[in-house]
Amino acid sequence: MSAAPEQVVADEVAAALAAGRPVVALESTIITHGLPRPRNLAVARDLEATVRSGGAVPATIAVLDGRVHVGLTDAELARLAAADDVAKASVRDLPVLLARGADGATTVAATAHLARRAGVRVFATGGLGGVHRGAAATFDESADLPALARTPIVVVCAGVKSILDGAATLERLETLGVPLLGFRTRRLPGFTQVDGGQDLTWRVEDAAEVAAVRRRADDLGVTAAVVVARPVDADAALDPALHDRVLAEALAAAEAGGVTGKDVTPFLLDAMQRGTGGASLEANVAAVTGNTALAAEVAVALAAG
Ligand code: PSU
Ligand code: MN
């Protein structure tokens, strides 16, 4: 294990990074706040296996006992999946958690930051955070967006979470200068929905093209993330009518319950899972799994030079 005072890099990850072999970072908020137990642990393990079968090394990232872990043991993964008091950690929470010796599950923003800091160049997640519906009144915009603007990594996602305002999120990504590539599509995917409703400027056809864009971004000093939006497979997507009906209920319940801040996204994801009888969970898992497989391909392409 390679260890700095604040960080533990798993042996396998450290060896791969030192040798320039492909590594894919995975987030941990999805384990603690995005998926129900016990499915969360099974999915976390499956995602690591997906990275491996794609020829890359998985590095699930989390904060444990006040230290950043880049690559978790199976026992650490299980501990995280079983705990119900782990903080959802965005970038701004990290210094506090480290100062206190606490645990934290990292969001897209925090995972991207920590992955890049450790030298990992590719990261897979489900749906990105973004601008919430009604943000003109609440100012609720995910810290994922400014983190993507300053973190030179590749993030493979299924577009923007469908609980959000996709059009507003696209505008913010444009303002923030974040390159956004549709994977074999010119439409912004909507997480559990194949089509989130907006057009994209750029479409790429394969992982090699993504790697080429990242390399050119690096050459140019473009320090934003390259975001790859891959639609969930059509046969795994959530039925749009069911999605819209349950989302309306979930948004109303969040408003009625006075849910704010970082509780909003976990509340809505949970309400969608319960309201669809688990169908949105299956679509979520399919999306993140497909993204993870593509992320491994991108990592392999980047490592190839
Ligand atoms: N995508 C998923 N499930 C999740 C999330 C994303 O499929 O649980 C998490 C990510 O960690 C993302 C976070 O960074 O939701 C966004 O939260 P917020 O809207 O509070 O920024
Ligand atoms: Mn928020």
- For residue 1, the model assigns a pLDDT of 61
Question: Residues enclosing ligand 1, CB less than 6 A?
Answer: 27, 29-30, 33-34, 107-109, 125-127, 129, 142-144, 161, 262, 265, 269, 284, 288
**pLDDT surpassing 70 at residue 2:** no
**pLDDT surpassing 80 at residue 240:** yes
CA of 204 from ligand 1 middle (Å) equals: 25
High-pLDDT (> 90) share of the chain, %: 97
CA of 137 from ligand 2 middle (Å) equals: 13
Q: Which residues are catalytic?
A: 27, 161
Spell out the residues 6+ positions from residue 300 whose beta carbon is closer than 8 angstroms to its own: 22, 54, 55, 56, 207
Q: Which ligand is nearest to the CA of 92?
A: 1
The number of residues in the chain equals 305
Output the average pLDDT for the chain: 97
Q: Which atom of ligand 1 is nearest to the CA of 261?
A: 20
d(C-alpha 305, C-alpha 253), whole Å:
49
- For residue 63, the model assigns a pLDDT of 98
Q: Which of these, 150, 132, 113, lies nearest to 259 by C-alpha position?
A: 132
The top-level CATH class assigned to 2-303 is: alpha beta
**What is the mean pLDDT of the segment spanning 249-271?**
96
Could you read off the pLDDT of 176-231 as tens digits, one per residue?
999 999 999 999 999 999 999 999 999 999 999 999 999 999 999 999 999 999 99
Residue 90's Cβ-side half-sphere holds a number of Cα atoms within 13 Å equal to 15
- For residue 3, the model assigns a pLDDT of 61
CA of 126 from ligand 1 middle (Å) equals: 8
- Listed by start position, the domains of the chain span 2-303
Could you read off the pLDDT of 88-106 as tens digits, one per residue?
999 999 999 999 999 999 9
Task: Identify residues whose C-beta is under 5 A from ligand 2, the ion.
Answer: 140
